[in-house]
Structure 1
Amino acid sequence: MAGYRDLLRTPGVARMIAAQLVARFPNGMMSLAILLHVEQQTGSYGAAGIVLAAASVGQAVAGPITSRWMGAWGMRRVLSLTLAVCVLAVLGLALLPLNLPGYMVFALLAGLSTPPVQSAVRTIYPKLVNAGQLTPLFSLDASLQEIIWIVAPVVITVVSTQVGTVQGLLLVAAILVLGGAWFILSPEVGRVRIPRSRRAFGLVVLKPPVMLATVIGFLLIGACSAVEVGVVATFGHGGLEAGLVLAVFSVGSLAGGLAFGHIPIGPWAMARRLLIVTVGLGLTMVSLNIFWLGGTLVLAGVGIAPALAVLFAITTASVKFSETAEAFGWAGTGQLIGAAAGSAVAGILIDQSGPTGAYLAAALFAFVGLVVSIVFVRAFPDLRDRDPSPHPDTEPIQTARI
């Protein structure tokens, strides 16, 4: 913890972490807010699911594009533009008398215009700290983001069910404005300039570490989404049990990230972390007792934030600084698609074999991620004795001796 205290004393680090957490807080609220509002307005969970899918498609498509724009137009300009459009789209969902196609259009627009805060902040981090602090910073970031997934769903559920779904969406819009403004106006966002990338759009994802980060992110988040569906199917929507079990899952991730964030990242780091996740998720199928599930999910959670930290570090260390934001955009798209795939597969297996099917899906997603990390271990950069910062965009020029 002393290392984390020193890290947070580094100028700008604590402010950036806090500002990006608040700016991204609506990410943990938006899906539930849209789902509850559209279901109430249309009386159909099917319609709500279609609208939610439109928002997810928008986010997945836009991630790499808006992230790359930051190198061409500047971070503040892109973040401000996307923030303004996203807020207007959320207000449209809340206040306009829409039919199903109208909800889909505004949800798609909200997804397409989601501000690329995650790509921006992880591009800024290497400019705030020295090489030795970067891996612990990524681990701290991955750990603290669990706060979003613990608190945000509870807040939006309480507001939407006890006050109203319109007020829930208005709360999302308000936090978008406040958090986005805080992040955009932070001095570090103005100081860090991303050079324009000279490579064609999409080529960065073909780099083996970036491809691995995208694929394993897809599988890891797919496992987490399957767990969420399984827990809800096990305990239902009405009781506290589902929320408590999912909370301890996130607490395990938070604890794991803080405990193991200082460990140097070698080629086998991802495999070791995913082994913990796979074992924990595999044990969930033994019993659906709340205490057993809570314990096994804490174990699985211990590996999640450390695994995400590895994904962030290998992405940063394998690209030029001008490519960092786009690379994180592709990784984010992989995670969004993984979330949708995990939920879908879990839902199908629940229909066939009950809640245990969802935990089977989660364990299989994690196991495939483990296999990928073992088979392609040589593609993981060894960062134990290497600066994990992005490569500079300027390279030395050889001159002839006279």
Structure 2
Amino acid sequence: MPSASVNYRTLLRTSGAWAFFLPSAVGRLGIAMTGVGIVWLVHARTGSYAAAGLVTGGFAVADAVAGPQIGRLVDRFGQTRVLPCTLGAHSAAVALLLTGVLPDLAAGVCVGATLPQLGALSAARWSALLSDERAAALPTAFALEALANGVSYLAGPALVSALGAAGRPSAGVLLAAALVVGGGLALAAQRRTTPPLTDRAERHRAGRALLRSAFLRQAALGLTLGVFFGATQVSVTAYAVGRGTPDAAAPLYFASNCTSLVGSWAYGAWRHGGSPRHHQAAAAACLTLTSLPLIFLDTPLAIGTTLALTGLAVPVLLILTSVLTQSSVPRVVLTQAFTWGNSASAAGSAAAAAVAGRVVDASGAHGGFGVAAGAAVAMTVLALGGLRDSSAAEGERP
């Protein structure tokens, strides 16, 4: 395995790479803070976690529904035209939430519907920048994206929670919006790396690629990965509370998050031999094997160790889903394809949280871990189906 610093350093030396990656990483830190910031703000106003959860749920659903539509506009008109408009609308929505002009639920929906898809925009730029003979570097680029997301979701909620606990929930929401808008505007200013636009007829023909089995399989993998996330989060919390040690939930989450960063880093550093589809099937099988013991393990050390092992496989699946999405659709609809993948994952996570909650109420935390393990099995089946599809396609070539 080569040095990770060499691989990532070489990648970021690509002309224009730093200029768009850094602003998108800053903006994604703000995105990671937004949902938790809404929880703190609404709870401070109402004193009700139920109200806070309702508003945050409306925010998440609006983000999942509107994200692909924003991606479609970006593919049609370009990042430099659509992103400033989206950021302006997002700023107005956050102002409505902070001032209380609209009911909290309506304002939360507006904030989610205008949230810019900075991760998808950055991934689309990497795809355009690393085309043709440099395409072999794309797995490393997407690993770097996964690292940025991992750091954001590790640090962002902690930062906004610290502000909320200090009695300044509005400051947390305002800081999140400032990072999103500042990072987004800096990204929009980088015109040199913006993916090129195409004519309407080509976009119409390319749009059909979003209905092909190769892309739908990756979207389904994103959905099941979201189910795994949602079920695991509910089950870890239920496990810690059920043992009478609710404080144990934080270290269990921390163990999984830290190994996810290690998994992202290691995969990006590895010289990728073999097919991404084979890597995806292997990663899904590893996730299944490491998640199944959660159904019957009981000690905190065993649960924590197993969660840490699952954390190694999850980022590899995220990276490979991006790689195979990029290869399964034309570039003219790539931003939309990435946002559909993100929305599928968000929908899966939200649905799993509800389903796993019912299962946990009925059979305890281990039942919830069973839902997560079932999602891992479904991912393995989907990934193995992808191997059959690619073999059939190879056989049909002259």
> Shorter chain as normaliser: what TM range?
0.7 to 0.9
Q: Deviation digits for residues 171-214 of structure 1, max 9, x if unmatched?
A: 2222222222222223445x432324532796332122211111
- Select between 208-217 and 34-43 the one with higher mean Cα deviation: 34-43
Measure the CA separation in 2 of the matches of 1:158 and 1:216.
Answer: 34
Are 1:195 and 2:198 counterparts? yes
TM-score by length of 1: 0.87
Q: Which residue of 2 aligns with 1:251?
A: 258
Maintained 8 Å contact 2:11/2:141: yes
| Residue 160 (structure 2) aligned to one of 156, 159, 165 | 156
Letter matched to residue 304 of structure 1: V
Are 1:302 and 2:312 counterparts? yes
Q: Which residue of 2 aligns with 1:106?
A: 107
Q: Which residue of 2 aligns with 1:341?
A: 351
Maintained 8 Å contact 1:124/1:188: no
TM-score by length of 2: 0.88
Measure the CA separation in 1 of the matches of 2:120 and 2:387.
Answer: 25
Q: Which residue of 1 aligns with 2:395?
A: none
SS in 1 for 2:204: coil
Are 1:286 and 2:296 counterparts? yes
Q: Deviation digits for residues 76-100 of structure 1, max 9, x if unmatched?
A: 12111111111221222122265xx
Q: Which residue of 2 aligns with 1:210?
A: 215
SS in 1 for 2:203: coil
Measured on the aligned residues, the alpha-carbon RMSD in Å equals 2.3
Identity across the alignment (%) = 26
Measure the CA separation in 2 of the matches of 1:166 and 1:288.
Answer: 40
Q: Counterparts in 2 of 1:122-161, with a 5 A limit? A: 122-129=123-130, 130-161=134-165
Q: Deviation digits for residues 140-185 of structure 1, max 9, x if unmatched?
A: 2223321111111111111112232222211222222222222222
Q: Counterparts in 2 of 1:312-323, with a 5 A limit? A: 312-323=322-333
Q: Which residue of 1 aligns with 2:43?
A: 39
Maintained 8 Å contact 1:225/1:342: yes
Maintained 8 Å contact 1:210/1:331: no
Measure the CA separation in 1 of the matches of 2:21 and 2:301.
Answer: 33
Describe the shift of the 1:178–1:380 C-alpha distance in structure 2 as closer, same or farther (beyond 3 A): farther
Structure 1 gaps, min length 5: 383-402
Q: Deviation digits for residues 223-242 of structure 1, max 9, x if unmatched?
A: 01221222222335996532
Describe the shift of the 1:71–1:33 C-alpha distance in structure 2 as closer, same or farther (beyond 3 A): same
Q: Counterparts in 2 of 1:2-401, with a 5 A limit? A: 2-96=6-100, 102-129=103-130, 130-189=134-193, 191-196=194-199, 197-199=202-204, 203-236=208-241, 240-261=247-268, 262-264=271-273, 265-380=275-390
Measure the CA separation in 1 of the matches of 2:85 and 2:277.
Answer: 39
Measure the CA separation in 1 of the matches of 2:287 and 2:389.
Answer: 21
Moved over 6 A (4+): none
Describe the shift of the 1:43–1:199 C-alpha distance in structure 2 as closer, same or farther (beyond 3 A): same
Describe the shift of the 1:240–1:64 C-alpha distance in structure 2 as closer, same or farther (beyond 3 A): same
